[in-house]
């Protein structure tokens, strides 16, 4: 296990390094000039040049990247060009909101997707199965922004049961989490159904049924547990994606998370903030995948890492 974790961490380092290099190059190729945006349209060429020098944007690209990488390794992600605040402080201030939305969104996905997928697999080929998969397809296909607006109109405006948006109470969390859950739940339902159909056709499931075990015991104790392994991978990936910020959902509901911070930084070409959020996103995705892999032996003792 220790050797496996060490190898995965080594691979993660190269992945994170590649992500930062590619992001830095893409930001460098942007036609927008951060110095010009900070100085304003009416600023003189001398003023823009002075700001560019103060920000270090007049240095060669390898020097700029090396300075960023060295600072990041020491916990310094730089300062926001616009707000003049440490990027690490800005991200840390937004992490609690993002973590709440991530956990609630994953819970909503599982609560929607797992029962629908299991029920569809048990009733394979019947009307309930077909209806479940149609609804799952609609959930996967519908844009999150449109789903969010429909939920706001139906449950916050037409029938004012929940807040229109914002942050601060459990009620504010329901609609954003449900928006994530409806889309992600469709994926989980389709995946669970496919896995359950395969597992229910295995010999050991037929043997358990022949021994006189109840249908519920066979499905939930024997089949469902073995069908969960691919779902764990999806959960690990969702942890990373949601913790890196769900831009569309956070923007639609005014949720003060990392995704909204990234969107604002992109609009203002605030390069240190963009690099900081992308780096944190890459770290969370890598950690989510690693945690998912480490959870496999807990579900199936036959799996052993060496």
Start-end of CATH 1.10.3720.10 domains in the chain: 96-299
Q: What is the pLDDT of residue 67?
A: 83
Q: What is the pLDDT of residue 136?
A: 84
125 torsion bin: left (phi>0), alpha (psi -120 to 50), beta (else): left
- CA contacts within 13 A on the Cβ side of 140: 13
According to the CATH classification, is domain 96-299 in 1.10.3720.10?
Answer: yes
Mean pLDDT on 142-168: 85
Q: Among candidates 190, 170, 167, 157, which has minimal Cα distance to 250?
A: 167
Specify whether the CB–CB gap between 20 and 77 falls below 8 A. no
CA distance 258 to 186: 25
Q: Among candidates 83, 82, 73, which has minimal Cα distance to 269?
A: 82
Give the sign of the dihedral formed by CA 292, CA 169, CA 183, CA 23.
negative
Q: What is the pLDDT of residue 21?
A: 85
Q: What is the CA radius of gyration of the chain?
A: 24
CA distance 298 to 305: 12
Mean pLDDT on 240-258: 80
Q: What is the pLDDT of residue 31?
A: 67
Q: What's the predicted TM-score (pTM) here?
A: 0.78
Task: Write the DSSP symbol of residue 58.
Answer: T
pLDDT greater at residue 38 or residue 156:
156
Mean pLDDT on 101-114: 89
Q: Is the pLDDT of residue 8 over 80?
A: no
pLDDT level of residue 22 (50, 70, 90 thresholds): confident
CA distance 168 to 68: 34
Q: Is the pLDDT of residue 15 over 70?
A: yes
Residue 86: strand pairing partners: 79
Residue 79: strand pairing partners: 86
Alpha helices in the chain, H assignment, sequence order: 2-28, 34-39, 45-55, 61-73, 87-122, 127-141, 144-152, 170-200, 203-210, 215-217, 224-226, 229-243, 247-253, 258-268, 271-299
pLDDT tens, position by position, 81-98: 888 888 888 888 888 888
Mean confidence (pLDDT) of the chain: 81
Mean pLDDT on 27-36: 72
Mean pLDDT on 173-186: 87
**Count of other CB atoms within 10 angstroms of residue 264:** 14
């Amino acid at each position: 296990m220790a050797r496996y974790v060490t190898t995965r961490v080594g691979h993660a380092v190269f992945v994170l390094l590649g992500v930062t290099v590619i992001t830095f190059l893409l930001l460098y190729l942007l036609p927008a000039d951060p110095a010009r945006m900070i100085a304003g349209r009416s600023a003189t060429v001398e003023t823009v040049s002075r700001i560019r020098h103060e920000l270090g944007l007049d240095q060669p690209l390898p020097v700029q990247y090396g300075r960023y990488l060295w600072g990041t390794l020491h916990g310094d992600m730089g300062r926001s060009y616009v707000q003049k605040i440490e990027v690490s402080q800005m991200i840390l201030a937004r992490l609690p909101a993002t973590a709440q939305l991530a956990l609630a969104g994953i819970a909503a996905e599982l609560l929607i997707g797992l029962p629908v997928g299991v029920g569809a697999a048990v009733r394979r080929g019947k009307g309930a199965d077909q209806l479940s998969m149609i609804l799952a397809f609609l959930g996967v296909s519908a844009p999150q922004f449109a789903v969010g607006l429909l939920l706001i109109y139906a449950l916050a405006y037409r029938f004012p049961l929940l807040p229109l948006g914002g942050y601060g109470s459990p009620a504010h969390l329901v609609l954003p989490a449900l928006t994530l859950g409806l889309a992600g739940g469709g994926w989980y339902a389709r995946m669970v159904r496919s896995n359950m159909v395969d597992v229910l056709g295995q010999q050991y499931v037929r043997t358990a049924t022949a021994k006189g075990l109840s249908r519920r015991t066979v499905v939930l104790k024997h089949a469902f547990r073995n069908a969960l392994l691919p779902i764990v991978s999806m959960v690990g990936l969702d942890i990373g994606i949601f913790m890196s910020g769900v831009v569309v959902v956070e923007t639609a509901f005014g949720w003060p998370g990392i995704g909204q911070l990234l969107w604002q930084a992109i609009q203002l070409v605030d390069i240190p903030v963009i690099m900081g959020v992308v780096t944190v996103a890459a770290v969370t995705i890598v950690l989510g995948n690693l945690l998912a892999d480490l959870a496999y032996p807990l579900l199936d003792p036959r799996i052993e890492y060496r």
